[in-house]
Amino acid sequence: MEEFYAIGIFLFVLFLLLGTGVWVGLALLGVAWVGMDLFTVRPAGDAMITIIWRSASSWTLTALPLFIWMGEILFRTRLSEDMFKGLSPWMARLPGGLLHTNIVGCTVFAAVSGSSAATLTTVGKMSIPELRRRDYPENLVIGTLAGAATLGLMIPPSLTLIVYGVTINESISKLFMAGIVPGLVLAAMFMGYVVLLSFFSKTYRPKPEPAMSFAQRLVNSRFLIPVILLIMLVIGSMYLGFATATEAAAFGVIGALILAAAQGSLTWSTFIESLLGATRTSAMIALILSGAAFLSLSMGFTGLPRDLAEWISSLGLTRFELLMALLVFYIVIGCFLDGISSVVLTIAVVEPMIRQAGIDIIWFGIFIVVVVEMAQITPPIGFNLFVMQGMTGHEMNYIARAAFPMFMIMVVMVFILIAVPDLATWLPENMRVHPG
């Protein structure tokens, strides 16, 4: 009974603060402070200062602002334009045509960005006008782009996986390796959906692309060389065990600066803009992580996570039933919170449950990222929906309906992960990954 009283207090204060427009990070700090004051004898101020310093001084966490900065630099280059030039000659030959550039372009940029919003904006600013000019169905242009952009949360370097790894003290490099195969499988499922629509949809009548020889396609592929080299530098250094995630992030920033300079996009103005953009995003995430760390400490003192884990265990749920409950849970809270906030807010309670159920922590990281991806395209708070609205001017309901098939494909992906867990666990278990 005491546990439910504590849960009620925590939830009441949290929703009160969030409902009045308080930042998520400050709301988490406020909830934790109330919990420490009501349910423990330890001074809340002393505990808060100690835990915030400890959580913020993590070496692993330094990868976060570096990867964010790399994405900000690339966002200000001609990368999207070059990717479209390099990909379109090859994608035009596939059933479904240039609509595949949305998916493949997002997959490629996700491998150097880590951010869903950056992926969506970078690829969309080039592909949307081009696909509209060729009379591709508007709902498919929007839906595939909104859905495929969520791959930025899974394919390394993923900001959500960094936050998850720091929160549960797991190797970032292993989590990155775990996200590669599921990310590619999900991208292939998106492309399969486009292929099926091209055969069966009566409204799918884009203008045909002019014929291009194999040699011409190879020449156009030179535009992809810079981004492929950058992917090899960042992911390859971790894959071969030469670098930690933090060191790979530093390589990525240097590579992005070189790429921007080579394209002529690196001016003093764009350099400062990228630095300020990365600082703002990093500060926001750091505040959320600090609040989550203090909330985890507060809840730990109350014994709430342990009691909840024992209660869940007493229900006798199978692993599958527990995962289905968590799937519904994260979809619901994803309607109201962004992905990173959803992860850090809940992991203190969820982690003991999944460990007690014998669920692999690395695998669960990929599971939770797929579910968080869904939250990016679910109203009312789906962030990708807001970005798409700003880019296209369509109503939110129209964009949400266009993205709904992508949402359902992600649901199918969850069941594939459950049925074939090796998709997420084989690479980190069999490759020489740096432990950092």
Q: Write out pLDDT tens, residues 188-245.
A: 999 999 888 888 777 777 777 677 777 777 777 787 788 888 888 887 887 777 777 7
Question: Residue 81: its pLDDT value, please?
Answer: 72
Amino acid at 419: A
Give the separation between CA 261 and CA 404, rounded to whole angstroms. Answer: 39
d(CA 168, CA 355): 11
Q: 12: which 2 tokens?
A: 């009441």
- Rounded Cα distance between 316 and 243, Å, is 43
* Greatest mean pLDDT among 56-70, 109-123, 155-169, 325-339: 155-169
Is 411 among the domain residues? yes
Tokens of 283: 């500060």
Residues recorded for the chain: 436
Q: Quick: pLDDT tens for 127-164.
A: 888 888 888 888 888 888 888 888 877 888 787 888 88
CB 56 within 8 A of CB 64: no
Neighbours of 146 (CB within 10 A): 30
Least confident span in 23-27, 124-128, 321-325, 405-409: 23-27
Q: What pLDDT, on a 0 to 100 scale, did the predictor assign at position 259? A: 85
For residue 381, the 8-state DSSP code is T
Which candidate, 64, 159, 167, 171, places its Cα nearest to that of 431? 171
Q: Is the pLDDT of residue 289 over 60?
A: yes
Q: Is residue 297 a part of any domain in this protein?
A: yes
96 or 341, greater pLDDT? 96
Tracing tokens 């760390």 back to the chain, one arrives at: 293
For residue 374, what are its two tokens?
């869904």
Please report whether residue 435 resides in a domain. Answer: no
Q: How far apart are CA 144 and CA 129, in angstroms?
A: 14
Tell me whether residue 184 is in a domain. Answer: yes
Nearest residue to 191 via CA among 282, 94, 50: 94
Instruction: Report CA dihedral (336, 24, 65, 104) to the nearest 10 degrees.
Output: 0
Binning pLDDT at 50, 70 and 90, where does residue 413 land? very high
Cis peptide before 157 (omega within 30 of 0): yes
Domain count within the chain: 1
* DSSP one-letter string for 275-318: HHHHHHHHHHHHHHHHHHHHHHHHHHHHTHHHHHHHHHHHTT--
Residue 69 lies in a domain: yes
For tokens 């009283």, name the residue.
5
415 pLDDT more than 90: yes
> Quick one: average pLDDT of 262-267?
83
Distance between CA atoms of 39 and 63, rounded to whole angstroms? 35
The answer to whether residue 333 sits within a structural domain is yes
Neighbours of 94 (CB within 10 A): 16
Which residues lie below 8 Å from residue 372, measured CB to CB, with a gap of 6+? 153, 160, 330, 334, 339, 342, 343
pLDDT in tens, 361-410: 999 999 988 888 887 787 766 777 777 877 787 887 888 888 899 999 99
User: Distance between CA atoms of 373 and 334, rounded to whole angstroms?
Assistant: 9
Report if pTM > 0.75.
yes
List Cα–Cα distances, 46 to 42, 43, 256, 406, in angstroms. 8, 6, 41, 46
Structural domain that includes position 341: 2-430
Give domain status of residue 436, yes or no.
no
pLDDT surpassing 90 at residue 418? yes
Q: Tell whether 261 is covered by a domain.
A: yes
The pLDDT value recorded for residue 205 is 73
Mean of pLDDT values over 18-34: 76
